[in-house]
Structures are given as structure tokens and as C-alpha cells.
Amino acid sequence: MAPNSVNAAALRQMLSFVSETMVREEAYLTSLDAAIGDGDHGITMRVGFNAIKQKLGGLPEGVGVDTVLREAGFSFMGATGGAIGVLLGKMLMAAGSAMKGQQEIGGAEFRTLMSSMEAALIAAGKAKPGDKTLLDAVHAANEALAGDVQPDLLGALTKASEGARRGAESTAQMPARIGRSSRLGDRALGNPDPGAISFAIVLRAMTAWLQKQAPSAD
């Protein structure tokens, strides 16, 4: 049984594990981007998540989950360039704002966090679902969470992770309508959006981390 919530200390460990996972995925993510973009996505993720890991290691003990998420967003945005750096940075900052005052993130808080990230992405970007972007994964994750009144954290993470994966894989069948790959039009068909795949991997890594934890004492 995995713990049913994460406090700030656990969230820091979880995000460090996610960061290490994303760094390991660099070559795969770069190969996805090389097919339809400029091939820098794996590098961007490696640089951004290394910055997150370094930042989290230096935060004082006792900061809340909101600060952990906000600082992760600041460091990701500060370390990376390009649209994806701004978007993921803003999403993490929005997640931090949504968690203000929370001591722990359980299933219900995770659902709030996920919807705040989608709202931030929609506000910051120009994409709609179906445009072959990061939003397709984020939106599908939120749809997978809808209707679960009292989700436990592992259940919510699992659902969101599977939703994001389906959403990310579905982008392979979409023509690109926005961003650099839109110049390719139908030639982008058959290749998924790298940002959407990245988001799905982040959620999968969060789920895997939680699964490996011993139940909390309380």
C-alpha cells in the first residue's frame, strides 16, 4: 500500500526521482523532436529537470508543498528557453499557487493541482485540445480524473498517468496546427508530440515513485 498523501519532504523526493527519469529519457525525447521539430526537446528537459533537482536540494527544510512546486517552476523556466520552458514553468507555478496552505497532497489535492496546470497552460498557450501539443496529454489526464469524488493518491496518479499516455499517443494521429511542427502539416502524422510524451512520462514517474514507498505511519 502506497502512502495516501505526500508532504513537502516526500514531494521533494518524488520530484527528484522525476527529474532523474527525465534526464535518462533525453535521447528518446530528442529522437521524437527530431522527427517533427528541431530536436532540442530532450536537451530542454534534461536542463530544466536538472535545474529543478538542484533547486530542490538547496531549499530550506520546512518549506511547504506550494513553495516546492513554485520554486520548481521558477527554476525550470529560468534554466530553459523556448515555449515549453515557459509553459511547464507556468504550470508548476500555478500548481504551487493552487496548493497554497496545504500541508500534504492527497488524491483530491492532486486533482486540484492537475486542473490548475491545465488552466495555466490554456491561459499561457494558444493551443486547444486536438492541436497536437502538450495540452492533449494534460487535458486527457484531467478527463481521466473527472468524476472520481474521493480519489486516493495512487489511484488518481495512476488514472492521470494512463490518461496522459493515451492523450500523448493520440497526438501521433493529429496534424500539427501550432508551433514549429505546424510547418510540416500532415507530414507530422505518425509522430507524437514530444511535449505531450514528456508530460506522460512525468506522471508515470510520479506514479512509479509513489508505488515504491512504504505506507505512511499515520
Stretch that binds Mg ion, among 32-40, 62-70, 92-100, 205-213 (CB under 5 A): 32-40
Task: Report if residue 167 touches Mg ion, rule: CB under 5 A.
Answer: no
* Beta-strand runs (E) in the chain: 5-7, 104-106
- 62-94 burial: b if 16+ Cβ within 10 Å, else e: eebbbbbbbbbbbbbbebbeebbbebbbbbbbb
Q: Does residue 190 bind Mg ion (CB under 5 A)?
A: no
For residue 129, the minimal CB distance to Mg ion (Å) is 21
Angle between helices 8-24 and 65-79 (to 10 degrees): 30
- At its nearest, how many Å lie between Mg ion and the CB of residue 40? 4
Q: Is residue 183 at the binding interface for Mg ion, with CB under 5 A as the rule?
A: no
Those residues whose C-beta lies under 8 Å from the C-beta of residue 191, and which sit 6 or more positions away, are 32, 35, 36, 172
| Cβ atoms 99, 72 nearer than 8 A | no
Residue (37 or 64) nearer to Mg ion, CB? 37
33 binds Mg ion (CB under 5 A): yes
Q: Where does this chain touch Mg ion (CB under 5 A) — which range of 27-35, 51-59, 61-69, 170-178?
A: 27-35
Residues 51/76, Cβ–Cβ less than 8 Å: yes
Nearer of residues 64 and 195 to Mg ion, judged by Cβ: 195
Q: Is 177 exposed, middle or buried (0-12, 13-18, 19+ CB in 10 A)?
A: middle
Closest distance of CB 41 from Mg ion, Å: 5
Q: Which of 10, 19, 40, 160 binds Mg ion (CB under 5 A)?
A: 40
Q: How many residues touch Mg ion (CB under 5 A)?
A: 5
Q: Could you give the angle at which helices 82-98 and 194-211 cross, rounded to 10 degrees?
A: 40
Range in contact with Mg ion (rule: CB under 5 A) among 39-47, 58-66, 147-155, 207-215: 39-47
Residue 81 sits in the site that holds Mg ion (CB under 5 A): no
Closest separation in Å from C-beta 39 to Mg ion: 6
Which DSSP letter does residue 183 get? Answer: G
**By the criterion CB under 5 A, which residues form the site for Mg ion?**
33, 37-38, 40-41
